[in-house]
Amino acid sequence: MSAFSVLLLIAAGAMPHGVEGSWLTDDRKGVVQIAPCGPQMCGHIVRVLDKGPNVPATDINNPDPKRRGQPIMGLLTLSGFRRDGAIWKGGRAYDPKSGRSYRATLGLNPDGSLRVTGCVLFLCESQRWTRVN
């Protein structure tokens, strides 16, 4: 592949990106922005797409009563991820719907989507998030 072809692919967005960026969650109810936070990678909710009278505006399920008034917008949901080759690990994923945190890893799938895997003890579950341009 020539240098010119590589430049065209980059300009067209065809080259794979890292985990940084905006991601639509698998349930399509929110967008999380992943960006560096010091030497680690973190994610904050930047858009809530879920609508309706029962959609909370604050983190009402947080196990810490002092944090239940935090707005969902801007809420830290991914924290402490460090790169280890092609995977980001050592982090935590917080689910505001349940108020629970999970050990988690992040990695890109071959199709460019993001694999977010959360674990409790030895049970793990992955979600597929898609990049938002």
User: What b/e sequence results for 101-114 when a residue is b if at least 16 CB atoms lie within 10 Å of its CB, and e otherwise?
Assistant: bbbbbbbbeeeebb
Per-residue confidence (pLDDT) for residue 4, from 0 to 100: 36
Q: Of 32, 14, 16, 36, nearest to 24 (Cα)?
A: 32
For 30-40, write each residue's pLDDT tens digit: 999 999 999 99
Identify whether 124 is part of a domain. yes
Q: Report the predicted TM-score, pTM, of the whole model to 2 decimal places.
A: 0.84
CA separation for the pair 12, 62 (Å, rounded): 41
* Percentage of residues in the chain having pLDDT higher than 90: 79
Identify the CA nearest to 83 among candidates 108, 101, 100, 102: 108
- Domain count within the chain: 1
- Write the pLDDT tens digit of every residue in 52-61: 888 899 999 9
pLDDT at 16: 46
CA–chain centroid gap for 109, Å, is 14
Q: Return the CA Rg of the chain.
A: 16
- Residue 8 lies inside a defined structural domain of this protein: no
Q: Would you say residue 51 lies in a domain?
A: yes
Domain of 88, CATH number, reads 2.40.128.520
Per-residue pLDDT tens over the stretch 60-90:
999 999 999 999 999 999 999 999 999 999 9
Q: Tell me, yes or no, whether 96 lies in a domain.
A: yes
Domain that holds residue 28: 15-132
Task: Tell me the average pLDDT across 105-130.
Answer: 96
